[in-house]
Amino acid sequence: MVDGVVFLLENYFDGDCLTLFTLRLQATELELLLLKQLHKMKAFYLLRPVVNIVTKVPFPCFYIILLGEKDYLLDNDPAKINSKFFLNKETELSKYIVIAQNKLNFQQKSKALITLFRRGHPDALLLNPEDNLFAYTLFPFGEKMKNCPENGIEIKLLDKWVNNRFHKNLYPHKVPQLFNGCNLDVSFIEYVPYTIYHGRNEVKGIDGVMVKLIGESLNMTVRWLLRESWFSYLKNGSHYGILPDILYGRTHLACGGLIRSPELAGYVHFTTTYAISYLTWYLPQPPYEQTWKTMYKAFQKKLLLLSIAVIFTIPVFIAIIAKLADNELSLFKCITRCYVAAWALAVGNSTGKKPRTTSVRIIYAVWMIYAMHLALAYTASLAGLLTKSAHRPRVKNFNDLINTGLPTAMLDVHQSATTNISDPEVRQALDKFLLIEDTDEAISLMALHGNMSILDNSAYVDYTICSKFSKKPIYNSGLSTFPMKTGLMMRKSHFLYKIINKMIIRLVESGINDKIIKSTTKCRKTSRRLKSGQFKASTLRGLSGAFLVLGVGLLVAIAVFFLEQIIYQRNLYRNDKEAIIPYLN
């Protein structure tokens, strides 16, 4: 084993940096022999990473990872597998050797190499001691590949230790020209992907540049499979279309025009929230459902009872004290003022002295307008706006979403296209789909936890707030339309899933979205957030108007409040003056 590692270092090590990762607290016999041999050759770094703690390592470098029987690369715990104990950045100039100190079975070899592959290291080598020393890899780019894996990554026995040497070129610096690449099958409906017409209010094509770019980066040729509809039936009773293609594994990715209109979705008499984005992603299926609640239902029972008790108890004490002080202040006025003050504090965040109903109403109205612009409909429901929802969201926040885990469900943004499907098998698969809005927070958190698939930053959002009395729309937000819409879905079990995730994040960070997709403020904010590691909650794009309305409304409410106070004080002064003048006369 040590001789094989030394051979690789002598023949393929052409840099000045060498790093040895040891994942055990106590050194094994193999590790001691390897340390002794490496010390004779060259200076090197020795690192012992800790789970869930980011370890800074030199880059670019030649990395050696020693594996035991129960190490992180072989663990089934996602929290340990996701720990960043190796590099998570560009690695064209880096090389990996994973040394198994004990014989690994096929599943363990797969886990070790796939874990590195998902982090962007497709050409890592695994040295496994069997009856001899074998070198395994996922993508033997040094050889001429005739076929590409269809449903998963295939582990390739690249070379065998014979006569104290490996015979093949185990570490090519780049993909050779002899490698012909692979086909990336993409189903499309409704529009031809390479026919694009930029219209103001019409969509006549789909921008397939992003998918093509991904395919070229993976040395794959994109092959478009055009479909007539989302679901169609053949004479033999089987299905075809982009959703069956994904469900039954006939294609790698599926795209389609996702424009929704009242003619497709139908008119509704309650609040509807939906988003159509350029590219969509997979999400884990939560085990429970969370329905929206109005403001009074959002409180816990004990807190609600306590609030009611305070509202009605404090005025009683105020009235008693006022009575003892010979101040004519009725109990009804005390209750009314305390009730209004409580609403002003809860809804308008106002702590002014003796608030009046006019200012409170202005604050509440402005808060309604502001809440309607928020991407998270739960905020609007807390303001008492929502009585029903078009769909039943299943998570309270994105932390709940991320922590729900498996099984995986596909994101379905074209809900109206799947409502009339009666086939039991397809219906069962579609019932696992999850609908969720696209937000900055989702992009940040999904990128951080590696739980997103392919997405982008432009979305089409429409909110219709309806009165619970008249059942008619009382407010309709302005629509932010984009001429080109593309929805893309991908099986999470597909072998390209993780590496495409990482590529999309890199594309966003590098500003490639400015070239392919319209440059927006949100793109730049997301890019900065991804780079700096700041993953804070945020709202959707285009909220400048909402914040402006909120700010102006609050200023008006404050001005009205002070005007009421001035009038109130003048009335007191006038009343006192009218009472004093007869006495002076």
Which amino acids are annotated as binding site for L-glutamate, given as ranges? 418
How many C-beta atoms lie closer than 10 Å to residue 277's C-beta? 23
Number of H helices, E strands in the chain: 19, 18
Phi, psi of 266 (to 5 degrees): 85, 160
Q: DSSP assignment, residue 434?
A: B
- SS3 of 529, please? helix
| Chain CA centroid to CA 146, Å | 36
Q: Are 20 and 47 in contact (CB under 8 A)?
A: yes
| 188 strand-pairing partners | 226, 255
- Six token digits for residue 464: 């219709």
CA dist 20 and 96 (Å) reads 10
CA dist 63 and 44 (Å) reads 10
Q: Are 221 and 182 in contact (CB under 8 A)?
A: yes
Residue that is written with structure tokens 């008693």 in the block: 320
Crossing angle of the two packed helices 29-41 and 2-12, in degrees rounded to 10? 30
Phi, psi of 136 (to 5 degrees): -115, 155
CA dist 231 and 418 (Å) reads 8
Sequence ranges of the binding site: 418
Q: DSSP assignment, residue 153?
A: P
- Six token digits for residue 448: 């951080």
Q: Containing H/E element for 243?
A: helix 242-247
Residue type, 226: L
CA dist 60 and 401 (Å) reads 35
CA dist 477 and 466 (Å) reads 12
- SS3 of 48, please? coil
Burial degree of 428 (CB within 10 A; 0-12, 13-18, 19+):
exposed
How many C-beta atoms lie closer than 10 Å to residue 259's C-beta? 16
Contact residues for 292 (Cβ-Cβ < 8 A; gap 6+): 377, 378, 381, 386, 388, 389, 393
Phi, psi of 146 (to 5 degrees): -95, -35
